[in-house]
Amino acid sequence: MIVEGFLKNSKPCIEALVRKISAFKGLWRKISLFQMDKGQKRETVVEGEHIFIRGSVEYSNPQLTVEELQGIIAVRLFEVCGNYFENRSTLTIEKRDVDEICERLTKPSLEKAVSFLLNTDDIEPDRYSMNPLKESIMETGQSAFPAAYAKTEGLEIDRKFVEKYNGSLVTQNEAEIIESYLSQSNYMDMVDSVKYEQLEGLSEAFGMRLCLPSMRMPLTVLEEETSGGLLHYMIRENNKDYAAIEQIYHCMGRSMKNRTTLLLLPHSTKGYGSKRAARGKIYFKGTELKSLKVAYRPTPLYPNAIDPKDLSFADADDEFEVSGKKIVNYDFHETPGSPQFIIYSIASPEDAILWHGIGAFGASELVKSYTSARSYFSSVVSNELYNKYGILTKIPLQFNIVPEKMWTHPVYDNIDASVDCVKDLQDLSRMGMYIELLPTHEYLRGSS
């Protein structure tokens, strides 16, 4: 049902991907990814000339949502259909094609197109008020921490939360699964363990292999890099002087008048790293970056879709100043910080990406910032990135789950319902898979 609907309703996207695969002359790359298997992290390395299709899940909720599931299935469909039709001369679809694609979906894919998940580890642990650990996240002082810094020690299931949202955001069964992994001290390992366990069961239910390999970024990468690494270079290059910062501001649609958007948000020594809770200001001495002033303040985050009054919260209180020299000569181990997504995503090996509900649930401004920055990087720093790091900068194909066709809970109509809240998974399948191609020119802000 899902495959037939995808082939029918998302054909222009499949055609665009097949053209990209057919014309692809990429670099030989060695990409390190991982999966969780019964709570154990298994590293996997993908080598060769591959096209990478990026999906994502969130660290703000341990339970897998219907939105996340739809995205995972979508990138898996792109992977298999792209590889299948690239070897054929036509996109005319017959029953035997559907049967063959369904068969291929049950197996690992090691062909030219590879799907993976890019999971951002600088997000707050309860960004959208849908984490059943939310009360203890607040009590342990971790609500304004990046997920990469969060620990499970002291965390426990918020029973009132589970009772209130049982069947609409989370289930008692999922609460028990989460609880079973709280012995892991690393918060992100716990979240990934829960989601991979759920994906194992869903793979069998949907008849397709859904345990896609993952990558964490940016803090995990910065922690492992030397000061000469790619992300360190991108942070230094885009903060080096007034002109460099002004250009990224332009890509983001921001004005240099106030200079309150920090391209790198330094973390507090107290562990805070929430971009929502931070107030920043950039100062210059002539054209040189003089300093960054940062203040972390208690800040409301976002509500879940069931109760708009139930806001998550980042509890933070600190202020400090960082010398511009520490940014221009950046070393993460001396000055831990979170770069903007458009800067660090350059390290993701993505040739095609999937957005979720841009135009309704997702922010069109983020896509414009991403597209404009990619265009800028490909024209200005592409030679340096290629020569130093073997990176080919270009604007990926950008797919989008049509907002009106995002999967929702059959009763409550919310995209943030956990998968276990859906009693009959065929209710999701019947909603279909409608993906659109986002035209690059509509998301470019132009040159300054």
Per-residue pLDDT, 392: 85
Q: Which amino acid belongs to residue 295?
A: A
- Strands 352-356, 397-401: pairing is parallel
Q: How far is CA 56 from CA 212, 213, 217, in A?
A: 10, 10, 11
**CA angle centred on 357, ends 351 and 363, rounded to 5°:** 85
The DSSP string of 358-408 is BTTTB-HHHHHHHHHHHHHHHHHTHHHHHHHH-----PPEEEEE-GGG---
CB 347 within 8 A of CB 234: yes
| Contact between 342 and 276 (Cβ < 8 Å) | no
Of the candidates 447, 433, 285, 300, the one whose C-alpha atom is nearest the C-alpha of residue 378 is 447
Report yes or no: 397 and 351 within 8 Å, Cβ to Cβ: yes
Q: CA 187, 191, 192 angle in degrees (round to 5)?
A: 115
- What number of helices (H) and strands (E) belong to the chain? 16, 15
With contact defined as beta carbons under 8 Å apart, do 241 and 289 qualify? yes
Q: Who contacts 350 (Cβ-Cβ below 8 Å, separation ≥6)? A: 52, 53, 54, 118, 396
What's residue 362's pLDDT? 64
Burial (Cβ within 10 Å: 0-12, 13-18, ≥19) of residue 224: exposed
Q: Which DSSP string corresponds to 180-229?
A: HTTTSSBHHHHHHHHHHHHHHHHHHHHTS-----EEEESHHHHHHS-TTS
Structure tokens of 147? 């997920």
At residue 138, the 3 state secondary structure works out as helix
pLDDT on residue 448: 40
- Report the distance separating Cα 129 and Cα 145, nearest Å: 15
* pTM (whole model) above 0.95: yes
Q: What value does the CA radius of gyration of the chain take, rounded to a whole number of Å? A: 22
Q: Mean pLDDT of residues grouped by 10 in the chain (448 residues)?
A: 96 95 88 95 94 97 98 98 87 89 92 96 98 98 98 97 98 98 96 98 97 98 96 97 97 95 98 98 98 98 97 98 98 98 96 94 88 93 88 93 97 98 98 97 78
